[in-house]
């Protein structure tokens, strides 16, 4: 086979060696290049954040507040907290643009060891767990439309991961283009819900009135905010595309702030439509607020329509999560020789192909675990939330450390009202860490177990890398 490509006069072994060396050099030296526009970035952020959560968490928020005013206030606070966080990230992403995102910030501030733990937790639980959860949501809805056996949901979920991972492996433009299409369909679907709730509510379902809490229930604004900020979660994923934005460093700040404004508006209008049709008490008792809203306004046909909307929303978030998640794995592979397989950037497709493959494999493993336990959404919240808020708190602290360590570095965007703004961000993250630990209880031990496994691997890395050096 080798001789077919051989040039006259060349030894049969020379061509394959040169070609292999060239391909290896190109793959190892290739790095992310500016390939995304402002619309791509906004679509990515909105697509990650506005997922299936807005169709599930409002009922949990309603069950933990005392009146509609507090309910709306909780969502406004969620937008403000996210905006404060986005301002902090705007400084970090414009000063240190890198495909590694949070991993890169933590490395510069705290060193590689702590950053490794973050990348480990993200690769093994946080990001891959999110991919599995969202894929299961798609699988559950598709299984209702057309069943293909006892494990329909699992099969559909696996196909989602395989298909969207493949799309992103093909290339950054194809992945980003898919994201823009899905985000447009998602926003259109949410607009249908908003219009249905505000303009098509039957007589007797409005206006909004105070409904007392359910009998025997207790309210907790702290727990309500855990669910609100869970629904807002994901805007920080913009950090992973900061090195690929064509509009430059200040463009990332504009993309972050614009995205939070759009997301907050969408969430407020959606929740006002829920309140208008169901009232606070009805929402608190509902297991599917969007489904109940559409059933009241459009009948059973509306239930089918909301199923399609939720499916598109979940697909949008899955695709964006897959896109950004592989960037952390890529950065991890660049810094640790033993994981060097992850740190290769394909110049032809402008994507970290190996990182996509590993991420997809772990996600499929978690979906396989779903065959044994069907409490995927609740379980993932329980053990991912504490880990997520812990590392987000450290990113906020990193902003202070990097201001002190690298004071003379050019900062195209500086967080306003420093140090008050990042301090609020850190205190909020600490409060949400505390609230998530109180909510999850023993479930948080799973996330801690993953971090402990990462610590053990980190301790073993020097010995493993020495063995690799001897073999060379």
Q: What is the dihedral of CA 448, 453, 456, 457, to 10 degrees?
A: -130
Q: Are 30 and 347 spatial neighbours (Cβ–Cβ below 8 Å)?
A: yes
pLDDT one-digit tens code per residue, 27-61: 445 555 555 677 777 877 887 788 777 887 888 88
pTM: 0.73
pLDDT in tens, 188-207: 888 888 888 888 877 654 44
Mean pLDDT of all residues in 393-416: 92
* pLDDT above 90: residue 100: no
Calculate what percentage of the chain has a pLDDT beyond 70: 79
Residue 427: per-residue pLDDT: 94
In the chain, how long is the greatest CA-to-CA distance? 89
Task: Look up residue 432 and give its two tokens.
Answer: 């949400």
Confidence of residue 216 (pLDDT cuts 50, 70, 90): very low
* C-alpha closest to that of 73 among 306, 297, 258, 272: 272
Cβ density class 115-138: b for 16+ within 10 Å, e for less: bbbbbbbbbbbbbbbbbbbbbbbb
Q: What is the mean pLDDT of residues 338-360?
A: 83
pLDDT given at position 20: 41
The pLDDT of residue 325 is 81
For the chain, the average pLDDT equals 78
Query: Which comes out higher in pLDDT, residue 351 or 293?
Result: 293
CA distance 326 to 27: 16
Please state the rounded mean pLDDT for residues 318-328: 81
Whole-number pLDDT of residue 426: 95
Q: Which of these CATH numbers, 3.40.50.880, 3.10.180.10, 3.40.720.10, 1.20.1740.10, describes 34-410+417-463?
A: 1.20.1740.10
Task: Please say if the pLDDT value at position 397 is more than 80.
Answer: yes
> Would you list the domain boundaries of the chain?
34-410+417-463
pLDDT score at 292: 84
Residue 214: which pLDDT band, with cuts at 50, 70 and 90? very low
Cα dihedral 157, 159, 161, 164 sign: negative
- The torsion of the CA quartet 46, 327, 351, 337, rounded to 10 degrees, works out to 180
Q: What's the mean pLDDT in 253-260?
A: 84
Which helix (DSSP H) or strand (DSSP E) does residue 400 occupy? Answer: helix 376-405
């Amino acid at each position: 086979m080798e001789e077919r490509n051989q040039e006259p006069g060349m030894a049969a072994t020379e061509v394959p060696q040169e070609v292999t060396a060239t391909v290896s050099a190109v793959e190892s030296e290739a790095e992310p290049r500016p390939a995304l526009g402002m619309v791509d970035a906004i679509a990515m952020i909105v697509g990650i954040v506005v997922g299936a959560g807005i169709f599930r968490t409002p009922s949990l928020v309603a069950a933990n507040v005392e009146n509609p005013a507090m309910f709306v206030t909780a969502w406004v606070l969620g937008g403000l907290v996210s905006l404060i966080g986005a301002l902090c990230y705007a400084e970090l992403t414009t000063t240190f643009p890198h495909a590694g995102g949070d991993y890169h910030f933590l490395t510069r501030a705290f060193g590689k060891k702590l950053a490794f733990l973050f990348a480990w937790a993200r690769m093994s639980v946080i990001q891959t767990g999110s991919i599995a959860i969202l894929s299961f949501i798609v699988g559950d809805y598709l299984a209702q439309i057309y069943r293909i056996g006892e494990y329909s949901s699992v099969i559909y979920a696996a196909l989602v991961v395989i298909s969207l991972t493949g799309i992103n492996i093909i290339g950054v433009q194809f992945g980003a283009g898919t994201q823009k299409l899905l985000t447009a369909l998602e926003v259109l679907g949410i607009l249908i819900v908003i219009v249905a709730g505000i303009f098509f509510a039957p007589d007797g379902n409005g206006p909004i009135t105070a409904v007392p809490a359910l009998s025997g229930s207790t309210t907790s604004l702290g727990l309500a905010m855990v669910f609100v900020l869970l629904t807002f979660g994901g805007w920080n994923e913009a950090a992973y595309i900061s090195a690929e934005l064509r509009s430059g460093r200040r463009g990332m700040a504009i993309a972050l702030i614009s995205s939070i404004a759009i997301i907050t508006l969408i969430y407020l209008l959606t929740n006002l439509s829920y309140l208008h049709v169901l009232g606070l008490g009805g929402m608190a008792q509902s297991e599917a607020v969007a489904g109940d809203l559409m059933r009241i306004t459009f009948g059973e046909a509306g239930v089918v329509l909301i199923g399609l909307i939720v499916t598109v929303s979940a697909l949008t978030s899955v695709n964006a999560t897959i896109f950004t998640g592989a960037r952390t794995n890529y950065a991890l592979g660049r810094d640790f020789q033993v994981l060097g397989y992850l740190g290769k950037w394909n110049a032809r497709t402008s994507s970290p192909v190996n990182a996509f493959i590993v991420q997809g494999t772990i996600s499929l493993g978690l979906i396989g675990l779903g065959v044994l336990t069907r409490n995927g959404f609740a379980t993932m919240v329980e053990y991912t939330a504490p880990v997520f808020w812990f590392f987000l708190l450290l990113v906020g602290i990193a902003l202070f450390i990097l201001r002190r360590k690298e004071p003379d570095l050019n900062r195209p965007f500086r967080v306003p009202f420093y140090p008050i703004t990042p301090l609020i961000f850190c205190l909020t993250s600490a409060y949400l860490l505390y609230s998530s630990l109180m909510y999850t209880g023993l479930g948080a031990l799973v996330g801690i177990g993953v971090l402990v496994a990462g610590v053990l691997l980190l301790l073993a890395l020097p010995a493993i890398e020495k063995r690799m050096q001897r073999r060379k």
